Amino acid sequence: MVLSLTCAVQNYDWGIKGGCEVSALGELNTGVDSDPSKPYAELWMGTHPSGPSVVSATGVGLKETIAADPAAHLGAKTVERFGDDLPFLTKVLSVAKALSIQAHPDKTLAAQLHADRPNVYKDANHKPEMTLAVTEFEALCGFVAGDELAANLRAVPELRAVVGDVVAADFENSTGNKDELAKVFTALMTADSDAVAAQVDTLAARLKQKDDKTKTPVDHLAQRLNEQYPQDVGVLCAYVLNYLTLKPGQCIYLAANEPHAYLAGECVECMATSDNVVRAGLTPKLRDTAILCDMLTYNAGAPVVLDGESVDTNTTRYVPPFDEFMLEIVTVGTNESYTVSPSPGPCVYLVMKGGGVVGDTEAKRGSVLFAAAGDATAIAAGDEGATLYRAMINSRVYA
């Protein structure tokens, strides 16, 4: 059973104006013309109440459709493990401007935050996520290694001035101790806002005078972040967090309590169904700085980048260390047919390129499809071939 879905488009201010994947895919999916004056940020595919997908043929929400017979749609083991709703949300992101310095709480903290402030933290679930680059995709992800941070504390006087000489020296002498890293980050993020603004202005003036050939990639990033969020503490975070650029087809995953910020580019993202985000920089939204500083793991070093594992000649799979989801890219050649391996749980497909027939449903670029548990979905590609992204429950849940 394959259901065609009509999905929700989100127009957040950090999205891309004009041509981008979200505007193009959203227009094709919904039949609503995009507005070139608006930023297009996210296309949501799932049952999240802030942007629920609807079964196109019936006009009934996917959530309500699943609820009518959870076992048939999700599979018995998925219902047993996650309940009677789709446990993951899939998105396409088009990012023109940096998103906030943030982390997602684990289940224990999420439950506490939801109980204390349900108007801000609207559910009790955790929100692990993974990001698969469609174009080159820039992000800050996790803390830099100890020796790199120590070097930055020496080379960037504005960072050192905000953190403080004593805290900086203690970190340098600790050879990257987690407790000392926590003190550095907490000192940075909780520093007086006027002091931060003054030092960011000083940094911007110094970098402006610096020859471009001698600037590091992080220097260029700091300048760009300051243009987007003037005098913000997140500008200095560029020297504390790993700055990486994913190539198309590369993927990172983000566990609970790990700091990150998406910066630019387009991606397919999958996550547990939750709204829980704790922010502390590069944002006009609520900042819960104390909670963020307290919740982090303070693991340091380069993040894991997944290049995907080949399932067969048609399928590349990306498997994070989370139960709720994994991703696949399925490519089918011109006028060729291919049957995906059936999943014991539900699947959500996005047709990114080309089209044809998926199951018994005509599909084209922008089509989003839901396949019930156990469906061995056949794909018959047309003259342009077909490239699909498949989100599904992590196969280890069924091992």
List active site positions.
279
Length of the chain, in residues: 399
CA distance 335 to 337: 7
| Distance of alpha carbon 359 from the chain centroid | 29
Return the structure tokens found at 292: 């963020």
Taking Cα atoms as reference points, which of 356, 371, 350 lies closest to residue 134?
A: 350
Q: How many CB atoms lie within 10 A of CB 68?
A: 9
* Residue with the two structure tokens 């303070």: 298
Helix (H, G, I), strand (E, B) or coil at 49: coil
Q: What gap in Å lies between CA 279 and CA 375, rounded to an integer?
A: 39
Neighbours of 173 (CB within 10 A): 10
Exposure pattern of 328-353 as b/e (b: 16+ CB <10 Å)?
bbbbbeeeeebebeebbbbbbbbbbe
CA–CA separation, 140 and 126 (whole Å): 20
Helix crossing, 146-155 with 178-189: angle to 10°?
Answer: 40
Rounded Cα distance, 28 and 30, in Å: 6
Helical spans, DSSP H, in the chain:
21-30, 62-68, 70-74, 76-82, 107-116, 146-155, 157-163, 165-173, 178-189, 193-209, 217-228, 234-237, 289-295
Of 268, 256, 250, which Cα lies nearest the Cα of 44? Answer: 268
User: Which tokens go with 254?
Assistant: 């983000």
Token pair recorded at residue 51: 């942007």
Token digits for 252?
A: 């990172």
Phi, psi (deg, nearest 5) at residue 216? -80, 165
- CA 232 – CA 194 distance, rounded (Å): 10
- For residue 301, give every residue at least 6 positions away whose Cβ sits within 8 Å of its Cβ, in sequence order, or none: 142, 143, 144, 145
Closest CA to 80 of 391, 325, 344: 344
